[in-house]
Every structure is written in C-alpha cells, then in structure tokens.
Amino acid sequence: MAGAEARLEVDGVTEGVSLWLTDWKIEGGGAWSGRRVMALVGGSYAGRLDVYVHPDGQAVDVAGLEVEPDYQKRHLASVMMDALYAAYPTAWINHGRRDPPGTVWWDRYTDPAPERNVHNRPPAEWAYYFDPLIIVNQKDANAYQNRYHGVNGHQDEVYRYGESMEDEARQCAPPLPRARCPGT
C-alpha cells in the first residue's frame, strides 16, 4: 500500500492524493501493532487513519480517522477507509464508536465489505479477536448517534442477522452479582 495513489475531483478540480501505510508505534495496542494510513494532498498533510492490527493480520481495530478542515467534504475519509479494506482484504474490521462528524460521514460511506464489519455479524464469528461487550457498547453508542443526527447509519446492515442488540448484550455479558447495601 505504501505509495498508493488515488485521485479526487472536487468542484471540477482534480487533486493528487498520496496514501502511505506507515508503521505507527504507540503504546496501548498490546500484541496488536499500530498502523497509520496518512493522506497527503499536493504534498500537504490532509488526514490520517490509525488502526491496530492483530498479529495474524485477520483483525483490524480502527483507533481514529481524522481529516483536516481544509480537506473535509472531499471524500478523503472514504478513500482512506477503502485503502484499509484493500490493505487487509480478509480481516475483520471494527470501526469502533463514531463521534458526531463520523456518524454523518458513515451514513454517506459505502462499506466495501459489510460482511467483514464486526458490527454487522454475530459475536460468535469474531469474538476470538474482539471483546463482545465492547462491540455491543460501540453499536449502542452508534445507534444513539444515528437517532440523534437523524441518519440511518447502515442500520439494516448492523442488524441483518436478526438478533436484537439487547439479546446480543445479554449473551455477551457475564452474569453480575446483585448489588448489596452495607448493613443488610
């Protein structure tokens, strides 16, 4: 992927975009290695996509996606995400929790492989790589953002296997002991 080239057209102007898949060293990934897709437009820094990759390369956890203000609304985030899918063509992808701008972007984005998005599949398929409780929490937070911003956010894809989020959470959550009040 290093040196991959893409082109974007914005308002009739075609700009060269260079994407670089770099080694990104950061604490917190444990055995998972940090990677960064960096976007340059005309030689200027335009954005980044940070991910953690499982040692076997079959799971990718998105840690952050940012586009500089001068380069927003030009599909650059989509180009970086598409590059991630191309770099890891068979891996499970966890897009994580989205902030408000990410929620609006995700609603417009066309996921190139929704069958590899862990938010779209039952935990039994990907739980080897990701903590199901964390994924359920992310799905719930994303559903809230979707409702708040009045977007669909690919909800038909998220629940296409027919299991409600509540049932999925009950299956993933360990039974918790009843809370006890002191002195009772």
Q: At residue 6, does pLDDT exceed 60?
A: no
Position 41 in a domain: yes
Instruction: Report the pLDDT averaged over residues 150-173.
Output: 70
Position 82 in a domain: yes
Number of structural domains in the chain: 1
Band (pLDDT 50/70/90 cuts) for residue 24 is low
Q: CB count, 10 Å around CB of 70?
A: 9
- Cα–Cα distance between 154 and 106 in angstroms, integer? 8
Q: At residue 175, does pLDDT exceed 80?
A: no
pLDDT (0 to 100) of residue 145: 92
In this structure, which amino acid lies at residue 143?
Answer: A
Domain containing residue 118: 4-172
Position 178 in a domain: no
Mean of per-residue pLDDT scores for the chain: 80
Position 143 in a domain: yes
Any idea what the CATH number is for the domain that residue 59 is in? 3.40.630
Would you report the helix, strand and coil content of the chain in percent, each value rounded to 5?
Answer: 35, 25, 40
Q: pTM for this structure? A: 0.78
Interacting residues of 20 by C-beta distance below 8 A, sequence separation 6+: 1, 2, 3, 4, 37, 38, 40
Position 181 in a domain: no
- Cα–Cα distance between 45 and 27 in angstroms, integer? 23
Position 10 in a domain: yes
SS3 79: helix
DSSP of 150-180: T--TTHHHHTTT---HHHHHHHHSPPPPPP-
